[in-house]
Chain A
């Protein structure tokens, strides 16, 4: 056996190394329960993760596409870009989790949190890099199971436990559908290697059925309408930090994989037509339904859940165009959505940790008491709504452009009308913060250094990613299409 193959997996291996170090560190540096001080602090995981991100990103430019282990594992520079995007997101999540983890009841569980987050990330790595349906499924499960533990992390809070239960049941259900779909595809094509499936499928009813089940299974993960019903409850129940992680990272990885697999395995004309039509209606439903529901929410986390569903709709809009442009638009959209959404979640977490408030009506008059946080929140919301000069505008524009190029002007138009609706509800929060007055506003407070760092990173992304064209051009350099 050629052991140099392992070198292709440097991203996974270095992440594994980070996990192991943290594992040992967790054993050695147990928190001192008597004094209540955590010896194990946020610093170590953050530094390690940063190191890991940088080390894996740097050689990205000159590396070549390759396969390992007989095609089970695939490596392309685009995947490194994708993994880096996820890394940065996870880093921000870890930073903003600091305050929450410093709560007394969470102090002993600090180590667990990082391990669970990183295992989820590892699962996504394998999912992204898979060249075989089996590998893909293992990655998916590795990402789902620790995620459930994270959702139920606040085990003394009933909502959190309930959210965890809902999440695991639906994750299993969707995995079952996915597996059934994969088995049908295997039946139709006789192979599970992505490279070979494409040539074997002929658009028979069996293969279409497999395709539909496959999309359904991933649709649950990305939380597209009509597979979104778990989203709002889970998002509401999960700890806010985990909600942030769930809404961006896990969704993004699944969307990317959906795109690559659809492109690799189902690109033949008959199948292409059937999934394109299916996706068309899924997108219309996701964007519209989620937007209409979001208007009525008062809990900010439920609100973000519906906002995330509609954003997922925009995200998969880029899939409609199966070319390099579509892939770039997707990854770029994801990157921008990640920083904007995590920025908003960082503000929400820090407010929740300091005042325990999470309703939109609690945010009334926030600008009077915490002008900086309100301002940052506004920037993130504007970016989510697609207002220039923030990055969200650019990413939306490119996604629409890709879909338009693929020949769906009507779909783009529907999506555009929906951006106006979404602007309405994002502005509701801005209105609460700036215009409304409150008798009991959130008291002024100073957020801790880690939260601030998370905020700075996100806001920097929100501002720079769009105006600096280099980011888009860089991603474009690695993407490939049908």
Chain B
């Protein structure tokens, strides 16, 4: 069924087909969620459901295996929503429409494939499939310093995948070179100790950095602002909304799940780095003047929070991390969609040149305020739920080191409020000084549709988070249990302990 899910994406770049394809995708993802919840409720307790496996490169023990757990279902749902709304957001894209959607589809194919794979090889392959269309999408259809941004983004992410590939080989041969299947490696003979501890300490950082580059881990985040700022609207949406989640998902599913001891041993280094991401991203967002840069740095901060939460290594914080992925994905997509629409009208994203937009385009402005409020964690929206869960989870770690970091990260919420309110106040209220802007019109139907869908999703997640978090819980629990099942739980090299 999941195979059909992405085979359905094999569409030509005509709008009608694109809409049909993305709707089908959304429906399928929704159907998958419902059946998944039904099966879980009916008592299916396997770690992965709907698994299918196909021998691919037999001599190398590479199989094409798919399957989903609670986390990946949530991610698939998120991707489907964003692809769906992204299609509408790029409705009016003019030159080379067909090619645009072709690469866009390839990108989403990579994303879907990544989330359904349980085989490291297939996962890595889809990861790279998702990266390369970015180059052309940004390079051809982007704006601003697009060539530079596209090249920087592609090379940095590919550099990350170089680390990652090394890490994958390390895990594969470290675990005996018998299988590439993630679940099988984790439950390998000898349990958690399949990979030698000394080896884990080499491969864990490589894998974590490899995925971390995509998850905008400080100091490997610099591609993100440039890339997001130059990308066309729908690509920014998909990229910030979904692609950056690949990083967090991969860190959790491969780096930490398969190398629990090294996670305990070296996790603190990355915890500090992600802490820096969170705070630094928020501060950077405060001083930017370009709307997209503000949002890109805010993404760095929020994605940092995802990695931060999974490294806190307990059930609550990890569930929070996945919730944050969902919530941030939706919010950022909403933000980028709105920014793209405003830019499409005013042709500037500089907040010094924009003001008083509330009168001119009320619909977009209201959308922007809602997105902003969700972003700073107002109760009722998804951001609140996610951040709340994360910080509650993080605070459960009783030692000083974790507590201090948690408090530092909490500060980012305040900083977020600063930059969001600053932007909202600056560009939406006041009087419009630019005469040209007075002639502008509000959103068209396709834009409204896309924005409303996203706002509904954000609100739904905020109002009724329990079913999602329960679903995620079923996915997170075995992984966290597995990480804790090791005897080596205290880091010997952490100077702060």
A398-B60 contact in complex given A417-B159, A423-B155, C-beta closer than 8 Å = yes
From 165 to 197 in chain A, residues with beta carbon under 8 angstroms from any chain B beta carbon are none
A473-B159 contact in complex given A409-B169, A430-B136, C-beta closer than 8 Å = no
From 136 to 183 in chain B, residues with beta carbon under 8 angstroms from any chain A beta carbon are 136, 139-140, 146-147, 151, 154-155, 158-159, 162-163, 165-166, 169-170, 172-173, 177
Instruction: For A393, list chain B residues within 8 Å (CB).
Output: 125, 128
A154 to B158, CA, bound (A): 41
Instruction: For A476, list chain B residues within 8 Å (CB).
Output: 58-59
Interface centre among A400, A401, A413 (most CB of B within 10 A): A401
Instruction: For B159, list chain A residues within 8 Å (CB).
Output: 417, 420
Segment of A1-9, A245-253, A382-390 engaged in the interface with chain B: A382-390
A464 to B126, CA, bound (A): 17
Question: Is B56 a contact of A469 with CB atoms below 8 Å?
Answer: yes
Q: How many residues of A contact B (CB 8 A)?
A: 32
Q: State which of A389, A423, A431, A434 has its C-beta within 8 Å of the C-beta of B125.
A: A389
Nearest chain A CB to B258's CB is how many angstroms away?
17
**A54 part of interface (Cβ distance < 8 Å):** no
Nearest chain B CB to A45's CB is how many angstroms away?
35
A405-B128 contact in complex given A400-B165, A423-B154, A472-B57, C-beta closer than 8 Å = no
A469 to B126, CA, bound (A): 16
Q: State which of A388, A409, A412, A435 has its C-beta within 8 Å of the C-beta of B139.
A: A435
A412 to B56, CA, bound (A): 23
Question: Is B151 a contact of A427 with CB atoms below 8 Å?
Answer: yes
Q: State which of A387, A413, A430, A431 has its C-beta within 8 Å of the C-beta of B128.
A: A387
Nearest chain B CB to A332's CB is how many angstroms away?
10
A409-B60 contact in complex given A434-B139, A469-B55, C-beta closer than 8 Å = no
A206 to B125, CA, bound (A): 47
Instruction: For A280, list chain B residues within 8 Å (CB).
Output: none
A427 to B135, CA, bound (A): 9
Question: Is B166 a contact of A409 with CB atoms below 8 Å?
Answer: yes
Interface size bracket, B side? 20 to 34
From 392 to 408 in chain A, residues with beta carbon under 8 angstroms from any chain B beta carbon are 393-394, 397-398, 400-401, 404-405
Q: Mark A36-67, 1 if CB is under 8 A from B, else 0.
A: 00000000000000000000000000000000
A469 to B64, CA, bound (A): 10
**B129 part of interface (Cβ distance < 8 Å):** yes
Question: Is B135 a contact of A404 with CB atoms below 8 Å?
Answer: no
**A416 part of interface (Cβ distance < 8 Å):** yes
Instruction: For A473, list chain B residues within 8 Å (CB).
Output: 57-59
A252 to B176, CA, bound (A): 32
Question: Is A328 a contact of B147 with CB atoms below 8 Å?
Answer: no
User: Looking at chain B's contact residues, is the secondary structure mostly helix, strand, loop, or mixed?
Assistant: helix
Which chain A residue has the least Cβ–Cβ distance from B139?
A435
Instruction: For B151, list chain A residues within 8 Å (CB).
Output: 424, 427, 431
Nearest chain B CB to A392's CB is how many angstroms away?
11
A468 to B55, CA, bound (A): 11
Which chain A residue has the least Cβ–Cβ distance from B63?
A469
Nearest chain B CB to A5's CB is how many angstroms away?
33
A434-B169 contact in complex given A423-B154, A427-B135, C-beta closer than 8 Å = no
Instruction: For A310, list chain B residues within 8 Å (CB).
Output: none
Interface centre among B132, B136, B139, B140 (most CB of A within 10 A): B132
Nearest chain A CB to B122's CB is how many angstroms away?
10
Which chain B residue has the least Cβ–Cβ distance from A332?
B57
**B391 part of interface (Cβ distance < 8 Å):** no
Nearest chain A CB to B223's CB is how many angstroms away?
13
**B419 part of interface (Cβ distance < 8 Å):** no
From 258 to 303 in chain B, residues with beta carbon under 8 angstroms from any chain A beta carbon are none
Instruction: For A409, list chain B residues within 8 Å (CB).
Output: 166, 169-170
Nearest chain A CB to B421's CB is how many angstroms away?
38
**A340 part of interface (Cβ distance < 8 Å):** no
Instruction: For A405, list chain B residues within 8 Å (CB).
Output: 173, 177
Nearest chain B CB to A433's CB is how many angstroms away?
10
**A419 part of interface (Cβ distance < 8 Å):** yes
From 302 to 330 in chain A, residues with beta carbon under 8 angstroms from any chain B beta carbon are 325, 328
Nearest chain A CB to B39's CB is how many angstroms away?
30
Instruction: For B136, list chain A residues within 8 Å (CB).
Output: 430, 434
Interface centre among A413, A469, A473 (most CB of B within 10 A): A469
Q: State which of B132, B140, B146 has its C-beta within 8 Å of the C-beta of A382.
A: B132
Nearest chain A CB to B111's CB is how many angstroms away?
13
Question: Is B60 a contact of A388 with CB atoms below 8 Å?
Answer: no
A434-B60 contact in complex given A393-B125, A397-B121, C-beta closer than 8 Å = no
Nearest chain B CB to A29's CB is how many angstroms away?
46
A400-B169 contact in complex given A325-B59, A389-B129, C-beta closer than 8 Å = yes
A430-B135 contact in complex given A404-B169, A413-B166, C-beta closer than 8 Å = yes
Pairs A–B under 8 Å by Cβ, sample size 16: A382-B132, A387-B129, A388-B129, A404-B166, A404-B169, A405-B173, A412-B166, A412-B169, A417-B162, A420-B155, A420-B162, A427-B135, A430-B136, A431-B139, A434-B139, A476-B59
Q: Which 7 A-B pairs have the closest CB atoms?
A: A416-B162, A404-B169, A469-B56, A476-B59, A388-B125, A435-B139, A420-B158
**Given A325-B59, A388-B129, A398-B60, 15 further pairs, Cβ under 8 A:** A387-B132, A388-B126, A388-B128, A398-B57, A400-B169, A416-B162, A416-B166, A423-B155, A427-B151, A430-B135, A431-B151, A434-B139, A434-B140, A435-B139, A469-B57
